[in-house]
Amino acid sequence: MPYDHRNTTRRTRTRTRTRSLALALVATGCCAVLAGCGASQASQPDGKSTESENPRAASPAPAPTPTPTPPSLAGRTVVLDPGHNPGNFRHSTEINQKVNIGTNRKECDTTGTSTNAGYTEASFTLDVTHRLRDLLTARGAEVVLTHDADRPWGPCIDERAKIGNAARADAVVSVHADGSAVGNRGFHVILPAPVREGSADTAKIVGPSRELGERIADRFARATGTAPANYLGSGSGLDVRDDLGGLNLSTVPKVFVECGNMRDPKDAQLLTSAAWRQKAAQGIADGIATYLEG
């Protein structure tokens, strides 16, 4: 084919336009790359990067762990005395032996009373004591039991007092239920009378024991919804006695709680209810706690 210089000129122009377009695309790509780099890492006027050299330094400091509040009765010792013993009735000789209670001599222990249906006071007191122990332990108290039906009979009333004294208890509560006449209803708390005779001297514990008893009577009524005894204490729910060795021989604050009258059918219905016994334990625990917390 003959040579045509016009074709050469056109090819030259085409190559020129192609190179120009390629250079433009390369320049545009570089700008994009440079722009991207600039967006991810800005520079300060002095040329230093604003990114932290230590990523952890920008993390917020962990919140301090709050110090747990100690249980309200931590460091306090409570002795619980379940009245009587389920095995006492099989050991009449042993429990009838007389022991010194300061003012006179009295039987080591008794079998306790029961409902007409045969639910014994010893079974009742042990059940309430277990519930009470769990409630007090949950509040941080150290709880000591005078017995846990882990011995065939007893302990005697003078030994029960010694257990509380030896533990240097902040409070001692003896759990009972009364055996009065039908129609006599309600709970009461027995307080120590001023006694100073023989080995008995209650002078130091009369005041604090009354305070403990008043707190328990108040909280027991609230928790159980039952009224103070209608047959003693003039409706106060408090009764002062000087004939109980467990109180006479105590050197630490101590009270007896008579939770109700097992011989009255209406009270007996409460005392045989597990739900009511839990309320009774709660009321006693609340009373002890308010006393110890001041």
Residue 245: which H helix or E strand, with range? helix 245-248
- What letter does residue 231 receive in the DSSP assignment? S
Q: Phi and psi of 142, rounded to 5°? A: -90, 125
Collapsed DSSP state (helix, strand, coil) of residue 196: strand
Cβ atoms 268, 180 nearer than 8 A: no
* Distance in angstroms (rounded) separating the CA atoms of residues 208 and 254: 8
Sign of the alpha-carbon dihedral angle for 182, 185, 187, 190:
negative
* Distance in angstroms (rounded) separating the CA atoms of residues 226 and 203: 32
Catalytic status, residue 258: yes
| Active-site residue (options: 94, 159, 258, 293) | 258
Q: Which of 190, 218, 207, 217 is nearest to 253 (CA)?
A: 207
Collapsed DSSP state (helix, strand, coil) of residue 89: helix
Query: Which residues have a catalytic role annotated?
Result: 258
